[in-house]
């Protein structure tokens, strides 16, 4: 019993980050609604704590949507003074899943320690009660997966 029963990899993921977004839900809603209206599926959403009057947030999308994302990000930047979108492609999502996680301590710490033993940097982290999602450069995904497989005694699907 180690907290992780499944390990999944999603390749061809793009990381979108919006910096200096006014910290009000109307503005944030406009951004996410623009992506929804464009038919872009969003995953792995993470927001910073407020920094003065602003927040930053990141999320992932499939790289198939990169052209739409770039166009939309530039359009939003033009409409919202000071908002700075950034797009990074060439990333992969590694998802650790385990129904035991809510009752176990240290699963997240163990996952981070596994990644720390590789050359990879974590670009984004999201969690839920039964899921830890890690975004890494596609160049390092195999190395990270091997470390997680070894440390959690699970084989990636």
| pLDDT score at 2 | 85
Residues facing residue 95 across a β-bridge? 8, 133
| pLDDT score at 115 | 97
Range from 3-17, 72-86, 133-147 carrying the lowest mean pLDDT: 72-86
Q: Would the pLDDT of 85 be above 90?
A: no
Same domain, 21 and 45: yes
Where among 51, 71, 90 does a domain terminate?
A: 90
Average pLDDT over residues 116-135: 96
| pLDDT score at 42 | 95
| pLDDT score at 82 | 73
Same domain, 22 and 79: yes
Helices (H) and strands (E) in the chain, counts: 4, 6
Report the number of distinct structural domains present in the chain. Answer: 2
Q: How high is the mean pLDDT of the chain?
A: 93
Range from 85-89, 116-120, 121-125, 133-137 carrying the lowest mean pLDDT: 85-89
Residue 46 belongs to a domain: yes
Q: Which residues lie below 8 Å from residue 68, measured CB to CB, with a gap of 6+?
A: 38, 39, 40
Query: What range does the domain containing 62 cover?
Result: 13-90
Same domain, 70 and 124: no
Q: What are phi and psi of 50, to 5 degrees?
A: -55, 140
Q: What are phi and psi of 64, to 5 degrees?
A: -60, -25
Residue 66 belongs to a domain: yes
| pLDDT score at 99 | 94
Contact 157, 8 (CB under 8 A): yes
Residue 122 belongs to a domain: yes
pLDDT, one tens digit per residue, over 31-82 is 999 999 999 999 999 999 999 999 999 999 999 998 898 888 888 877 777 7
Say which CATH number the domain at 147 has. 3.30.70.260
| pLDDT score at 4 | 95
Same domain, 56 and 28: yes
Average pLDDT over residues 132-146: 97
Contact 92, 117 (CB under 8 A): no
């Amino acid at each position: 019993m180690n907290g992780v029963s499944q390990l999944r990899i999603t390749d061809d993921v793009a990381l979108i980050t919006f910096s200096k977004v006014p910290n009000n839900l109307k503005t944030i809603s406009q951004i996410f609604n623009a992506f929804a209206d464009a038919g872009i599926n969003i995953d792995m959403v993470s927001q910073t704590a407020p920094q003065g009057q602003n927040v930053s947030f990141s999320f992932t999308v499939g790289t198939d949507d990169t052209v739409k994302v770039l166009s939309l990000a530039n359009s939003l930047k033009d409409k919202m003074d000071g908002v700075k979108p950034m797009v990074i492609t060439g990333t992969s999502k590694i998802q650790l899943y385990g129904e035991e996680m809510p009752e176990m301590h240290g699963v997240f710490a163990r996952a981070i320690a596994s990644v720390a033993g590789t050359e990879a940097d974590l670009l984004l982290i999201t969690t839920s009660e039964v899921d830890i999602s890690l975004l890494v450069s596609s160049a390092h995904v195999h190395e990270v997966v091997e470390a997680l497989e070894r440390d959690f005694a699970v084989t990636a699907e």
